[in-house]
Amino acid sequence: MLDIHSAATSQHNVRGLERVGSLAGGALMFSKGLRHGGLVGLLQMVVGGLAVARGVSGHCSTKAWWQRHRQEYQRLRADIERSAAELEVLKASARAATEGVTVTGKDPLTGS
pLDDT tens string 76-107: 999 999 999 999 999 999 888 888 777 777 76
Q: Is 2's pLDDT higher than 70?
A: no
What is the DSSP code string of 15-67? -HHHHHHHHHHHHHHHHHHHHH-HHHHHHHHHHHHHHHHHHHH---HHHHHHH
Predicted TM-score of the model (pTM): 0.53
In angstroms, rounded to a whole number, what is the distance separating the alpha carbons of residues 102 and 111?
A: 16
Angle at 105 between CA 99 and CA 111, to 5 degrees: 105
